[in-house]
Structure 1
Amino acid sequence: MSQSSNASHEQSAVASAIDAFRRGDPVCVHDADDREGETDLIYPAAAMTPSAVARLRNDAGGLICVALGHDVAETFELPFLQDTLDHPATGDHDLTYDERSSFSLPVNHRDTDTGITDEDRSLTIRELAAAATAPEETDFAATFRSPGHVNVLRGAPNLLADRRGHTELGLALARAAERSPAVVVCEMLDDDTGEALAPADAATYAEAHGLPFVEGRQLVERLA
């Protein structure tokens, strides 16, 4: 493939991902071989339904999280989880790919029961998306309780200029698609090996299900 053809292909992949997000459809995003080396199935949080939660459980298999934009997290006064826990295990994380974890509080919406069912988790996720649209109008503590079954992640202040994890890649897609700054990320795992799904296999899954597959590098180059 020529350089110009490759550039056109990559631009098309990013455009397809943005269009999918604009419609409320999921996208497969591989971060980088020299980072986590994982592909996440990523949805706009506002589009989350019980069947979408089931798809994440069955087809992806990783941890279902909601990434919120930095300004939203600041408005809600959401801390980094490791800063709230007084335990030796919250010390040095020894992460090979980042300076710190993006995890904040795990929450349930107050209208849920146990919080773990597909119905409950989809409700919590949609309500997080609604809250992220107008954070100044949301009483977070009155709307959500913690601990819960939906893990919240905090996006970096300048997104891809600061950090290039799935949290920021997903939020950058949401911004480009003019969606709420709230996205669902879930790692795709290999049922046979128990390891992260290989990028080639994730791309095959995406093609089989009519989903865009995009590399983190492509998103960084066009959305940072």
Structure 2
Amino acid sequence: MSSQHKSTSTGTVAAAVEAFAAGQPVLIHDFDDREGEVDMVYPAGDVDSAAVSRLRNDAGGLICVALGPEVADAFELPFLADEIDHPVAESDHLGYDERSSFSLTVNHRDTYTGITDADRALTISRLGEAAADPEAVDFPREFRAPGHVHLLRASRYGLSDRKGHTEMGVALAHEAGRPPAAVVCEMLDDETGEALQTEDARAYAEKHGIPYVDGKDLIAAFT
């Protein structure tokens, strides 16, 4: 890596950490030979109705909350595939990873249907707040399942084991001094229905003043 490229990459990662620490979104591209997708990522505790609207309209993928393993353990969250007693759970090997990080779907108990921007914002922000001190949270008393917010369990060994948006979001939260809870949502192309091309994601980031970071640079900085 040239010194110029290294400086640019470091600056981009630093900008991402700074934005996340301030409660702002970041765009993270994983790898072209993995999912090949760009996710919009927020610190969960800072998500409000406007953020959910942006995730729906500007990203367009599935809105999920990635939780660090210590939080998932405290909340007794399983890997969903381990809990499904049905033939569909015996699926073929994933094309991009060894296992899915999906856990339960939840709503906060103070929501109504759970799907509105305000309801999802409440569920997500309370998950972010709960992740700051998970042992002090009575998870079943505050949340119910099934719901409209998908939970993801980050690998117990972090980026050294799995290099997905789940782990990158949690690692970014750690580096930014935030609780280990990050919203991740894939950016899709309205015209093709496919994953948004990286050049289009970069253009969106530049237009809206959002840091864009490549997974390889983030991993190099954090591991």
Q: TM-score range by the shorter chain?
A: over 0.9
Residue 220 of structure 1 pairs with residue 219 of structure 2: yes
Map of 2:122 onto structure 1: 123
The Cα shift of 1:155 comes to: 0.6
Map of 1:73 onto structure 2: 72
SS in 2 for 1:186: strand
Per-residue CA deviations over 1:149-201 (Å, capped at 9, x if unaligned) read 00000011121011000000111110000001000000000001000000111
SS in 1 for 2:34: coil
Moved over 2 A (4+): none
Q: Is the 8 A contact 1:13 1:212 kept in 2?
A: yes
The whole-number CA distance in structure 2 between the counterparts of 1:175 and 1:185 is: 15
Map of 1:111 onto structure 2: 110
Map of 1:209 onto structure 2: 208
The Cα shift of 1:83 comes to: 1.1
The Cα shift of 1:92 comes to: 2.4
Map of 1:100 onto structure 2: 99
Q: Is the 8 A contact 1:93 1:100 kept in 2?
A: no
Per-residue CA deviations over 1:46-102 (Å, capped at 9, x if unaligned) read 110000000000000000000000011011110011111111001124211111100
Map of 2:167 onto structure 1: 168
Map of 2:39 onto structure 1: 40
The whole-number CA distance in structure 1 between the counterparts of 2:13 and 2:92 is: 33
The whole-number CA distance in structure 1 between the counterparts of 2:120 and 2:87 is: 30
1:110 maps to amino acid = R
Q: Is the 8 A contact 1:156 1:163 kept in 2?
A: yes
SS in 2 for 1:133: coil
The whole-number CA distance in structure 2 between the counterparts of 1:129 and 1:214 is: 22
The whole-number CA distance in structure 2 between the counterparts of 1:91 and 1:150 is: 24
Map of 1:142 onto structure 2: 141
1:26 maps to amino acid = P
The whole-number CA distance in structure 2 between the counterparts of 1:59 and 1:120 is: 19
Map of 2:186 onto structure 1: 187
- Counterparts of residues 51-66 of structure 1 (less than 5 Å): 51-66=50-65
Percent identical: 59
The whole-number CA distance in structure 2 between the counterparts of 1:94 and 1:157 is: 20
1:43 maps to amino acid = Y
Identify unmatched segments of 5+ residues in structure 2.
none
The whole-number CA distance in structure 2 between the counterparts of 1:112 and 1:19 is: 32
Per-residue CA deviations over 1:102-144 (Å, capped at 9, x if unaligned) read 0000000000000000000000001101111111111111110
TM-score, normalised by the number of residues in structure 2:
0.99
Map of 2:4 onto structure 1: 5
The whole-number CA distance in structure 2 between the counterparts of 1:150 and 1:48 is: 13
